[in-house]
Structure 1
Amino acid sequence: MNSKKRDFLISISIIFTFSLIIILYLNYFFISLFGLNQENFIYIIMPLVLVGLGIFLSFSMSVLKPLFKSDEKLEQSLKETIHELNIPVSTIKMNTQLLQKTITDEKSIKRLDRIAQASNNLLKLYENMEYNIKKEIDKIDKQEFYLDEIIFKSCDKFDDIKKDTKIVVKIPNILILSDINGFEKTMDNLISNAIKYNIKDNPIVEISYQSPILSIFNTGEQIDTKNLFIVFDKYFQEDSSKDGFGLGLALVKEFCDKNKIAINIDTLEKGNRFNLNLKNIIK
């Protein structure tokens, strides 16, 4: 337990105990003064409950304010730091693009390509960090985007690693209103898993949409029925020989739950199919 959580729990416990002592004393005073019977019970107890709640809230606000203020300062500091990180990365990327237009030497071009790739990776890390901070403080803005564009964008990311996997996309031009970064990460994780857990001979990934269900199917070994209930748990891996930490599907489930997207798995004769019900985010 970190110090902030410990301080919070200690502060709340002290405030609660202090408020309880005051209420018990007032309760004793009024009972001694007026007695306690069915006629005056509600007139004594209800005001005391309200007074106790008022005392608890009043002391809570004054005592816990410094804790909340420190969180606000930390949040602001992180935002400013991340913003400052974006400036040098964008500068490197812009100057690299300018140099690529003027340099013709093959070795120099390769070096510039590596610099460009590194700057793109840094920019992606920046975007991920910014998104994760916004997600933690629950300030993600929803945006309109087209389902097919996000799917094709995610598929393009795996051109270098899909090898012989055939990816078939049958997605109409559907307008979605949601957290675009979170949705894209969800698609990345599902497509990545579909490629990773595929068969060796003629592997296929099929992405289709039949209103309002988005389905991602891959040929491969069926998910064991007993694992269907835990496949979305953090660190779970049905095949431990595969690369990864077992976090991808946990992140998928977290996003779907937060955005009211029902998700389920069909185990079929030739593979597995993940189904996402998008009815709550279709524009």
Structure 2
Amino acid sequence: MSAAPLAPARPAVTSGTTPAGPRRPRVRAGRVAGNVVAVVVALCWVFPVYWMINSSFTPDARLGARTPSFFPTHGTTANYRDAVDGSGFWSALQMSLAITLVTVVAVLAFAFLAALAISRFRFRGRRSFVVAVLFIQMLPAEGLFIAQYKMLSAADLLNSVVGVSVLYTAAIVPFTVWMLRGFVAGIPAELEEAAMVDGLSRTGAFLRITFPLLAPGLVASGVYAFLQAWNEFTVALVALPAEGSQTLPLWLRGFLNASVNEGVNWAQVMAASTLIALPVMIFFLLVQNRMTGGLVSGAVKG
């Protein structure tokens, strides 16, 4: 009777010699280093905003001291009160809100139709249109100021909401078309075709299937248009020469036109800057949740 062959002896496993062993500390160290770098970058990004808000609650005399105050220990709201009561804040706020609202609606309407035409239809001059949109983005805004001023002056649209909104819309639409084009191209046209096979019309298939999936793109484009129209300064400086028809960025410039004896009240400047930035922060926080919800619901529907 022959003996059974012996199984080969297994090599002894020593600690720290497995392939995953020495890599785990390196991976953890890399994650820790990445987290530290991310925190440092976030603090560098947040600190100017914090310093603006902190300075807005600090008296101007204390703000100009040699030793900086990182916390508003002697905080006051007088800077906000003086900034609002001492100038045309409310008229500038109404002007900015009206121009921004008209611009956002017009930009979304024109950019959405253009992006839909580029992505869904094949027509003569399509490539030329895409190249023209890209070329318009390369034009410097400063080179158009004289022509824009003469155009608005001839149409009697200076110092008006309509005139500034037209210029803002023309400047924001090209890039918004490129943004929405990516969203439209990312939705398969077969979804609409399947809905049309089930009995829906082309319009019904678009409104029920495609349009809900485009909601995140429309919201993102609306946020971009809102930021551009709300913070724009140079075009408004040309199209709104009258002192009574100013937007908030132009209103903020008035704090820097102080006399030599008085000097610039930087505490009021910071308070006015916070008032301008506050609506943007609130709007973004409200829309951010809707953007996330729209992205998730669109992925589930697709």
**TM-score after normalising by structure 2:** 0.22
Q: Which has the higher strand share?
A: 1
Greater relative contact order, per chain length (Cα 8 Å cut-off, separation 6+): 2
**TM-score after normalising by structure 1:** 0.23
